[in-house]
Amino acid sequence: MIPPAALAIHLSIGQVYAFSVFNLPLSQIIGVTVSAPADWKLTTIGWIFSIAIVFLGLSAAVFGKWLERVGPRKAMFVAALCFSGGFFVSALGVHLHQIWIVYLGYGVLGGIGLGIGYISPVSTLIKWFPDRPGMATGMAIMGFGGGAMIGSPLAVALLDYFSSPISVGVSETFLVMGAIYFSLLMFGVVTVRIPPEGWKPENFVPSSKPGKLITSNHVDADTALKTPQFWLLWVILCVNVTAGIGVLGQASPMIQEMFEGVITAEAAAGFVGLLSLFNLIGRFFWSSLSDKIGRKTVYAIYFGLGLLMYALIPSLGRLDTAILFVIGFGIIMSMYGGGFATIPAYLRDLFGTYQVGAIHGRLLTAWSTAGILGPVLVNYIREIQINAGVDKAEAYTVTMYIMAGLLLIGLVCNYLVKEVDAKHQLFKEKKREGL
Amino acid sequence: MPNINFLKRKREKGYDKMKESEVEKSPVIYIVLAWLFVSIPLMWGIYQVVLRSLPLFAGS
């Protein structure tokens, strides 16, 4: 019952990736069919998503230790209240046409729900599946990738239903989506349980010779911050997400400009959807594979193969057919998702299970940083290239090589990851005393 | 027939913190229903994505 509970949480909060569906209707609340002068600008609306992602990172970092103290059920309940509450408050903001209320609702309140909800089921799953932590966390985090696949068509269907000649129907859509997501989140809340101390699945015998990087001890969240391993993983997550998020945001114009006259806007939208599917599959596939071949090896594949793929993309973009280009990007996106899903198991290997949720929460600040770095890198480098007279189709070449360079940094950091020094570890007896 | 003990324990305070002796498998029907509850919307979402990606291959 625990994996579906975790999946329910992540499927709900993953809706954030589909928020752009609301951009156009939010910019036509007064004009309805076209944007009126008093309507919100797209740049103003864009801040809603950005605020939500910043608060995701901040709340995951701040509330991680609280989550470890109160348990996943209370934390998930708070996440459910915040995330769905964010929709309700935003519905009021749209109704009153006050953007600050929407920022406060979906951005701040929803963002806090996202952060707490994201880390809540992860440490619980690691404790229930000590034999396959990668697969278990991959399954949940896969839901975050799948959330947009549900959120986007659901929002489109509701907007169609509620729109009328006098309203775009955003306010009503927010209310219904808030109620739907609250129900899905509450399913996770009532179903989740944490196992007793030292619980092991039937027939599971821990290896007498665990891998070099797999500890049987524990490191608390504050001490983890003082280790080089934490910061190496921070950089690893940051560069992997920067590279992925940068091209994900530009995927639609990129394929249209590289295959001008071949790929239509409609086909490009299909390409973006397909990348989400690769992202989702990668989260489960790569993290499950990491249980077999080890976390360090799987990250070496992400960075080594990723580097090669980014370097190949400009050549694939010069071919007559887009199929190899799509497959190449699909592999890149699968490893982008895999990087998210494998990191909790990597943390568990290095720091133990004691406060892995809190450590994971603090590591997610790398995501917030990458969320700003990635699009900025891609957009600005492209702009500089075009201003310098480079052809639009060729303008992405330098960007791809820079992304490959970022992955090289990740490869080196991953190589430098060693086991945590014994002086940082809490031994099992002390941990039971509540230290 | 639902497992009464299972339902009773659900109402107990602090249920999410189990004792060693309390760990037992959930009834199969609950597991199936739980998976259906999350996988139906997920499959619907995947179907929508595949449907939207068809023009990409037609264009190629």
For chains A and B, what is the number of CB pairs under 8 angstroms?
A: 110
Distance from CA of A190 to the nearest CA of B (A): 8
Tokens of A434: 């509540």
Cβ A149–B45 below 8 Å, yes or no?
yes
Say what the pLDDT of residue A322 is: 81
Which stretches of A259-364 are DSSP H helices? 265-293, 295-316, 323-351, 356-363
Say what the pLDDT of residue B19 is: 55
Asked if A87 and A177 count as a contact pair (C-beta separation under 8 A), the reply is yes
Do A27 and A171 sit in the same domain of this protein? Answer: yes
Strand blocks (E) in A6-94? none
Burial of B50 (0-12, 13-18, 19+ CB in 10 A): middle
Chosen from B33, B49, B51, B54 to mutate, greatest number of chain A CBs within 10 A: B49
Would you say residue A247 lies in a domain?
Answer: yes
Would you say residue A265 lies in a domain?
Answer: yes
Q: How far apart are CA A245 and CA A368, in angstroms?
A: 11
Say what the pLDDT of residue A211 is: 66
Phi, psi of A289 (to 5 degrees): -65, -30
Which residues are paired to A218 by β-bridges? Answer: A426
Distance from CA of A224 to the nearest CA of B (A): 25
Cβ B30–A195 below 8 Å, yes or no?
no
Cβ A146–B23 below 8 Å, yes or no?
no
Do A54 and A174 sit in the same domain of this protein? Answer: yes
Do A6 and A116 sit in the same domain of this protein? Answer: yes
pLDDT above 70 coverage of chain A, percent: 96
Do A287 and A332 sit in the same domain of this protein? Answer: yes
Say what the pLDDT of residue A209 is: 64
Is residue B18's pLDDT more than 60? no
User: Chain B residue closest to A281 (CA)?
Assistant: B46
Q: How far apart are CA A129 and CA A136, in angstroms?
A: 7
Would you say residue A200 lies in a domain?
Answer: no
The last residue of one of the domains, among A139, A173, A191, is: A191
Say what the pLDDT of residue A423 is: 79
Chosen from A21, A73, A150 to mutate, greatest number of chain B CBs within 10 A: A150
Choose among B10, B26, B54: nearest Cβ to A270: B54
Asked if A411 and A390 count as a contact pair (C-beta separation under 8 A), the reply is no
* Residue among A210, A399, A354 nearest A295 (CA): A210
Residue A89 to residues A12, A109, A174, A313: CA-CA distances in angstroms? Answer: 17, 9, 9, 43
Would you say residue A167 lies in a domain?
Answer: yes
Identify residue A346 by its one-letter amino acid code: Y
Do A153 and A299 sit in the same domain of this protein? Answer: no
Chosen from A7, A120, A193 to mutate, greatest number of chain B CBs within 10 A: A193
Choose among A11, A148, A196: nearest Cβ to B19: A196
Q: What is the mean pLDDT of residues A39-48?
A: 86
Q: How far apart are CA A118 and CA A133, in angstroms?
A: 16
* Residue among B4, B25, B27, B37 nearest A195 (CA): B25
Would you say residue A269 lies in a domain?
Answer: yes
Q: What is the mean pLDDT of residues A278-305?
A: 93
Banded model confidence at residue A186, pLDDT cuts 50, 70, 90: very high
Say what the pLDDT of residue B10 is: 47
Say what the pLDDT of residue B55 is: 80
Banded model confidence at residue B7, pLDDT cuts 50, 70, 90: very low
Which residues are paired to A102 by β-bridges? Answer: none
CATH number of the domain that A81 lies in?
1.20.1250.20
Do A268 and A145 sit in the same domain of this protein? Answer: no
Identify residue A113 by its one-letter amino acid code: G
Do A294 and A173 sit in the same domain of this protein? Answer: no
Residue A377 to residues A220, A329, A397, A398: CA-CA distances in angstroms? Answer: 35, 18, 13, 11
Average pLDDT of every residue of chain A: 87
* Residue among B7, B3, B23 nearest A193 (CA): B23
The parent domain of residue A253 ranges over 221-432
Q: What is the mean pLDDT of residues A89-114?
A: 95
Is residue A434's pLDDT more than 50? no
Q: What is the mean pLDDT of residues A363-377?
A: 84
Coil, strand, or helix at residue B17? strand
Q: What is the mean pLDDT of residues A315-335?
A: 87
Residues sharing a CB contact under 8 Å with residue A151, sequence separation 6 or more, in sequence order: A14, A15, A16, A17, A18, A19, A21, A177
**Which residues of chain B are within 8 Å of residue A191 when distances are taken between CB atoms?**
34
Banded model confidence at residue A249, pLDDT cuts 50, 70, 90: confident
Query: Structural domain tally of chain A?
Result: 2
**Which residues of chain A are within 8 Å of residue B20 when distances are taken between CB atoms?**
196, 198-199
Max CA separation in chain B (angstroms): 60
Say what the pLDDT of residue A269 is: 80
User: Chain B residue closest to A197 (CA)?
Assistant: B20
Say what the pLDDT of residue A73 is: 92
* Residue among A157, A117, A141 nearest A21 (CA): A157
Would you say residue A49 lies in a domain?
Answer: yes
Say what the pLDDT of residue A133 is: 86
In the 8-state DSSP scheme, what is residue B16?
T
Q: How far apart are CA B26 and CA A143, in angstroms?
A: 22
Do A145 and A269 sit in the same domain of this protein? Answer: no
Phi, psi of A32 (to 5 degrees): 65, -65
Would you say residue A197 lies in a domain?
Answer: no
Instruction: For tokens 């348990």, name the residue.
Output: A71
Would you say residue A205 lies in a domain?
Answer: no
Do A176 and A242 sit in the same domain of this protein? Answer: no
Say what the pLDDT of residue B1 is: 41
Do A150 and A260 sit in the same domain of this protein? Answer: no
Chosen from B12, B16, B31, B35 to mutate, greatest number of chain A CBs within 10 A: B16
Cβ A73–B16 below 8 Å, yes or no?
yes
Q: What is the mean pLDDT of residues A344-351?
A: 92
Residue A175 to residues A162, A167, A169, A178: CA-CA distances in angstroms? Answer: 11, 15, 10, 5
Burial of B13 (0-12, 13-18, 19+ CB in 10 A): exposed
* Residue among A351, A1, A427, A345 nearest B18 (CA): A1
Which stretches of A163-264 are DSSP H helices? 170-191, 221-224, 228-258
Residue A343 to residues A174, A196, A363: CA-CA distances in angstroms? Answer: 32, 24, 9
